[in-house]
Structure 1
């Protein structure tokens, strides 16, 4: 269809709102994932799986079971023909019941924090044997990092599990068995199981992403010169959902480094560099090419002069009038 006329218009960004109902990944989805992993394992000659997780490395366990460890380690033992066993510490015991995944809970108190009771658990070797692991098996150990040809000679028997777990698994498997790194079955970017997202998983991701994008919008629409980075970070409005990364906000010379947390008194001034990392969505700062940097710097100076007459301080607080809001909106539109 031919286009008779094209017009550029300035429009306001609509309010998309936030979801009010949290979609959940169904239990049958977790069961199907476990069956798919067992099928992949059978093709690879694996007899069983031991899937490790902790707070920082929770994704693989959560993908298979719906349980994301909070303070403690956890180990999901999967043996064909039996219900998966989830080893948890004292504090994970009740939480694992709430998560209601397709597993049987097993209390292993060594996974608890230091100085907590350890009077009701068998040894790790006996616990794993009771879960179905035994001598002669080829056990697929899944932590969070597969190793490849570029990893300095590490092979398939290199594990990224804590030593006390890896050593126990190797002892159980014995000389006739083996413990191999099977993380690629889940994490390979081309054909790993986690490269496939079911409809309910996509809905869950979208639910979290909506809050992430709204958090970014809150900061972009309300950040002011003179705010500390800590004050600006509070604009994100984090609401208590589990975070997939550490939220970070930095300005000025610190922004290109990406990882710093907001210091209490560092102020967000007009700068070519601003970085905001909101859990679930990363907006990385970029350094502009030299010519573009010059144009951007000149434009920033003009914007500062234009907005300067509309900014004044009263009791150390910035007060905005209509002219400044209009200028800031124009600045955002010109940078879009």
Structure 2
């Protein structure tokens, strides 16, 4: 088999509606969290949140603290306290988890009224954590280094330590090997599919709109839609990136031969593409004219290998080794995990690393995230997400949401017929942009494909 650039039928733009999680799903989430933290030896957990690190909090409440901070205290008997700032306090009555709200002005914006003169420790006393074994949850897997290391503000940690019997980093309850957020139900898959489709559809519209002379801002406006909150900074960059440390789209115009980088992400996943603003290799510089053979084709073969080999039950190190064999890290200089989990955030965690004994499980949503870095060439990228589903989960999807199942099958057929990739039976593509890659961006009819 070899990789070729050929005429390929373009995917169709997909439109699906956002899906609100059911009350049953939210109750299941709460039960899973309590069961797990009790098994880990805690009397209660405290989840910290701010706008950038709010997904563990939102997992139970259904909302984020926006521009404020917040804490959720959950006891093993199911009692829940929400510690909220001035402008988010009113959300307690809309929360998906039954709760007692506690107004904590210290969680509000700078210089807003600090009514009352309570210390932080007083609020945690009201939340009944005194003399309890507390699991404190941030958002990083620092527990793998030290259970006494926390990615939570010092003033909160010190207040908890003052009255708790003990406090340890318990983020593994959410994202570790026992993490409840790693595995998704049919309802959650449907919820996250919307974000995957929205990102992919916007990416396809952007690819189809590329034109010499258009600005980064013009193109970025196509990447964004439907008023949804992004889970990554939206990228549209032409030519050299990060001039004067700028991360955001500007009025810079695209010119022939530019390297282009595009990324957009929402709940459930991300879509990312790179390439050159050319019609064929003759428009590349002499040193980059072998881009397909030298970089893009080996990369695309790695994507194919990932999709054809990933399956339920394999270890993370097994998949890592497969990618390292077909796209040697020493040559292609990829440095991160060749794949990771996605949820409300773009990168939840990753079971795929060199010495990982973590198992890839049914219900996981994963991003194909392999980023080679070959000196002198643009980095290739065609990142999108998939669901891992064993036969039992696939049957549940067919029964509970046949329309979603039909979308999976339509995408699978497209990837096989147009791109020459035979997905493993456990792989359900979460959008029709999975593995669709145009390295020469002005030739909108051609994409990379596998042929015998």
Tell me the TM-score range normalised by the shorter chain.
Answer: 0.7 to 0.9
How far did residue 121 of structure 1 move?
7.2
Q: Which of 227, 240, 262 is 1:276 aligned to? A: 262
Q: Which of 85, 92, 117 is 2:88 aligned to? A: 92
SS at match of 1:279: strand
Unpaired runs of 5+ residues, structure 2, are 1-5, 293-439
TM-score (norm 1): 0.76
1: CA distance, partners of 2:189 / 2:228: 17
User: Which 4+ runs in 1 deviate beyond 6 A?
Assistant: none
Which position in structure 1 is the counterpart of 2:34?
38
2:194 matched to 1:199?
Answer: no
1:27-66 aligned at under 5 Å gives the runs 27-66=23-62
Unpaired runs of 5+ residues, structure 1, are 1-7, 298-327
Kindly name which structure, 1 or 2, has the bigger radius of gyration based on alpha carbons: 1
CA contact (8 A) 1:31 1:102 kept: no
Q: Which of 140, 156, 159 is 1:145 aligned to? A: 140
2:202 matched to 1:215?
Answer: yes
2:145 matched to 1:158?
Answer: no
Cα-to-partner distance string for 1:225-250 (whole Å, 9 max, x where unaligned): 11121121112242211221221111
Q: Report the RMSD for the aligned CA atoms in angstroms.
A: 3.1
CA contact (8 A) 1:228 1:267 kept: yes
TM-score (norm 2): 0.58
How far did residue 9 of structure 1 move?
7.5
1:187-336 aligned at under 5 Å gives the runs 187-188=175-176, 190-254=177-241, 260-263=247-250, 265-271=251-257, 273-280=259-266, 281-285=270-274, 293-296=288-291, 331-336=443-448
Identify which of structures 1 and 2 has the higher relative contact order when contacts are C-alpha pairs closer than 8 Å and 6+ apart.
2
CA contact (8 A) 2:19 2:190 kept: yes
How far did residue 148 of structure 1 move?
5.2
2: CA distance, partners of 1:255 / 1:266: 12
Q: Summarize the Cα distance change of 1:220–1:121 in structure 2 as closer, same or farther, 3 Å threshold.
A: farther
Cα-to-partner distance string for 1:243-269 (whole Å, 9 max, x where unaligned): 21221111222189x982112x21222
Q: Summarize the Cα distance change of 1:101–1:12 in structure 2 as closer, same or farther, 3 Å threshold.
A: same
How far did residue 143 of structure 1 move?
0.6
How far did residue 118 of structure 1 move?
1.9
Q: Summarize the Cα distance change of 1:282–1:125 in structure 2 as closer, same or farther, 3 Å threshold.
A: same
